[in-house]
């Protein structure tokens, strides 16, 4: 426990007040930004060696957006690259509160940054739609960034296979299909109307941006309230009735 009680002389001190020591070098070249998502393992111990948190035994790493972590953890991961493992000495004033006592106490965390999922930068227009955007449906606004192939256009009877990212009007990424490592299939007759307005008329290969005002946000998964800005890439179309008919596995 001596190594937990105080950082060794070889540890570096960060501007935040934490000290850190590299346990294993990483293979990545860049550190995560606040808007990026990361996958990581963590073990936290008090200075007497008592384990307060351990996710290394879990089958999958934790996935979180960096901006949603407590400030001290944001600072810790900002000093890391993918594949790296570091030990951080959190002084009491920077450490998370003990869930049982509500008291902050000095904690030593070993963190392993497994991977970084880089999020696209938000569109330049957030508070209001891009001036080139056109009104769609009852209040959504859409802009084709890259045209698709000649062929069928998406209708409300289709299931649309999409890559998507959604931001709020502050530019914070709320959700993305990339988190699952694959596109998402949306039956357009079952999603919120304003989202269907965004997709309707797209052709395969098209990249489109869409602005949905707060009043028309009926609760998109991962983005329950407020105005939404989407970037959508249509990969394929299918007949929703055939895919999502009663009794058909989904």
Q: What is the mean pLDDT of the chain?
A: 90
245 confidence band (pLDDT: 50, 70, 90): low
* CB-neighbour burial class of residue 110 (10 A; exposed 0-12, middle 13-18, buried 19+): middle
Question: What average pLDDT does range 183-199 have in this prediction?
Answer: 94
Model confidence pLDDT, tens digit, residues 3-32: 788 889 999 998 888 999 999 999 999 999
185 confidence band (pLDDT: 50, 70, 90): very high
Question: What average pLDDT does range 80-103 have in this prediction?
Answer: 88
pTM of the model: 0.72
Distance linking the first and last C-alpha atoms of the chain: 51
pLDDT score for 246 = 55
- Among 33, 16, 40, residue whose Cα is nearest residue 172: 33
244 confidence band (pLDDT: 50, 70, 90): low
Q: Which two tokens stand for residue 122?
A: 């938000």
In contact, 43 and 110? CB cutoff 8 Å: yes
């Amino acid at each position: 426990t001596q190594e937990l009680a105080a950082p060794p002389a070889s540890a570096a001190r960060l501007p935040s007040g934490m000290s850190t020591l590299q346990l294993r070098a990483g293979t990545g070249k860049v550190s995560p930004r606040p808007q990026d998502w990361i996958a990581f393992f963590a073990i936290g111990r008090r200075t007497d060696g008592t384990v307060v948190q351990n996710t290394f035994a879990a089958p999958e790493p934790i996935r979180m957006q960096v901006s949603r972590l407590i400030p001290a953890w944001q600072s810790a991961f900002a000093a890391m690259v993918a594949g790296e493992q570091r030990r951080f000495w959190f002084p009491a004033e920077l450490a998370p509160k003990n869930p049982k006592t509500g008291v902050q106490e000095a904690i030593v965390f070993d963190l392993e940054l497994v991977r970084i999922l880089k999020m696209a930068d938000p569109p330049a227009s957030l508070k209001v739609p891009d001036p080139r955007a056109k009104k769609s449906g009852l209040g959504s606004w859409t802009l084709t960034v890259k045209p698709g192939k000649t062929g069928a256009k998406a209708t409300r009877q289709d299931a649309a296979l999409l890559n998507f990212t959604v931001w709020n009007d502050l530019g914070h990424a709320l959700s993305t299909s990339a988190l699952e490592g694959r596109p998402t299939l949306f039956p357009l007759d079952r999603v919120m109307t304003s989202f269907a307005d965004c997709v309707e008329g797209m052709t395969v290969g098209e990249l489109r941006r869409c602005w949905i005002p707060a009043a028309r946000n009926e609760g998109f998964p991962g983005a329950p309230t407020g105005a939404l800005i989407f970037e959508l890439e249509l990969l394929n179309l299918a007949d929703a009735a055939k895919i999502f008919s009663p009794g058909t596995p989904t």
